[in-house]
Amino acid sequence: MNETRHQVLDALSDGPVSGPELAEELDISRSAVWKHVEALREAGFDIESDDVGYSLAAVPEFGGEAVEYELDAPFEVEYHDSIPSTNARARDLAASGAENVVVLADEQTGGRGRLDREWSSPSGGVWLSLLFRPDVPMAQAPAFTLAAAVAATRAAREMGVDAGIKWPNDVLVESDGTERKLVGILTEMEGEADRTSWIIVGIGINANVDSDDLPAGANPTSLSAELGEPVDRRVFTQRLLELFEELRQDPETAVAEWREYATTLGKRVRVETPSGTVEGEAVDIEFPGGLVVDTGDERVTVSAGDCDHLRPL
Ligand code: BT5
């Protein structure tokens, strides 16, 4: 949303305000005011007009403008009702030089997980990709994945869902000894060793999604399934972006917070890493995101891989 439209919207939310007043206040023509009001109506904002002027009666349930409205984070939000993959779209935007953009979709038709796995993304979810260009060496990038997991966990907890994090980046809800996946995160990046060109953090949250519409073998859950009613996706997305914004300023703190929410620490784990299997007790996490496993013989830090929680011996 451009700056003037933002200002029009802010004025309307404090309304009523007349067209001529608004034109004078923002130093634009009356017809420009009218065009902004019409564009906002088209985006789903309910703008009433009476003798006194315009006022904002309701904000759309979801969408780019809806999420940007009163968002306390410097992201522009590009919304799609349906798109193959928000990460793929964010890569195109990265190639054209964009930054601080969020690509958001109601549905993905080609959602991707790690290692080319599929990510099922029916309508009703929050499927988004954050594109940003942090001034850090590439080796620190994993910390942003952890930051995203922390932000998603906190946002879910604020809504009343008792989420925890499985290393490195699965957000789960545990009940009766079963872990159900609520959120998946896929991070992609480009740059040279000492300089990151861009990072894309793709976050998929099963928000208002029926578990029956998700792959059963994956043991999925959703915010609506946990709470027994749909959540306000606009509010959830805003909180997620605001929390991530805070954490990305200080990735070391994000790692510390990650420890608080971790369900992995203290558990017996088996991690399939690119260079082999590591099994033992997960004892800690180290900046920027390595898992420290005590195998009984030694402590090994693994920086990437698929992690299984095992039954205690
Ligand atoms: C992930 O992969 O968990 C990363 C998922 C990232 C998705 C986001 S959505 C926005 C952005 N755009 C994209 O295209 N992707 C990102 P991984 O750890 O590889 O887990 C994939 C596995 O999770 C699959 O093999 C299934 O078993 C399971 N799965 C698939 N869809 C699921 C869902 N909606 N909920 C829970 N589990 C799912």
138: DSSP letter: G
Pocket probe for ligand 1: among 82, 92, 119, the residue whose CB has the most ligand atoms within 8 Å is 119
- Give the distance (Å) from ligand 1 centre to CA of residue 199: 18
202 Cβ closer than 6 Å to some ligand 1 atom:
yes
Please report the atom of ligand 1 found closest to the CA of residue 86.
Answer: 12
218 Cβ closer than 6 Å to some ligand 1 atom:
yes
At 250, phi and psi to the nearest 5?
A: -145, 75
Cβ 88 vs Cβ 171: under 8 Å: no
129 Cβ closer than 6 Å to some ligand 1 atom:
yes
Q: Is 8 exposed, middle or buried (0-12, 13-18, 19+ CB in 10 A)?
A: buried
Task: Using alpha carbons, select from 277, 114, 296, 127 the residue that is nearest to residue 207.
Answer: 127
Beta pairing class for 76-83 and 101-108 = parallel
Along the 313 residues of the chain, how does pLDDT read in single tens digits?
A: 788 998 999 999 997 999 999 999 999 999 999 999 999 999 999 999 988 999 999 999 999 999 999 999 999 999 999 999 999 999 999 999 999 999 999 999 999 999 889 999 999 999 999 999 999 999 999 999 999 999 999 999 999 999 999 998 899 999 878 899 999 999 999 999 899 999 999 999 999 999 889 998 889 999 999 999 999 999 999 999 999 999 999 988 999 999 999 999 999 999 999 889 999 999 999 999 999 999 999 999 999 889 999 987 7
Say what the pTM is: 0.94
- Give the distance (Å) from ligand 1 centre to CA of residue 33: 43
CA atoms within 13 A on the CB side of 274: 3
- Give the distance (Å) from ligand 1 centre to CA of residue 118: 6
Which residues make Cβ contacts (< 8 Å) with residue 256, sequence separation at least 6?
none
